[in-house]
Amino acid sequence: METEKFAKQMVDFQKATFDNTFTAATMLQDQAERMFNTMIEQTTWLPEESRRVIEEWVGTYKKGRADFKGVIDENFVKLADLVEAVPTLEKPQASTLEEVPTPKKPQTSPMSKTK
């Protein structure tokens, strides 16, 4: 029983660690985006088409980041379900195990005896 509890705690710890790391990375990327947007707004020589490309690029990485988070969260749910399902799997009882015969000593032939 302790093994199952430990496994669940490990999954919970890994998920919390991932969530905290992902949140920190998201905050860093958002801050960089705000700084970048401020720089673009102050840059008068940058053509409008380039600005649209940059906005599209930012949207693409945000979508990729959200998709990545979704896949990881989905797989953490699957892992948690798997860890919870393990104790409920049918374990063989000692009374249902077949008796294993004791191995017999190998018989020696009369030829193998040394004099």
pLDDT at 12: 94
At residue 58's C-alpha, the angle toward residues 17 and 50, to 5°, is 160
pLDDT at 2: 82
**For the chain, which residues make up each domain, given as ranges?**
2-89
Mean pLDDT score of the chain, rounded to an integer?
A: 85
Query: What is the pLDDT confidence band of residue 9, given thresholds at 50, 70 and 90?
Result: very high
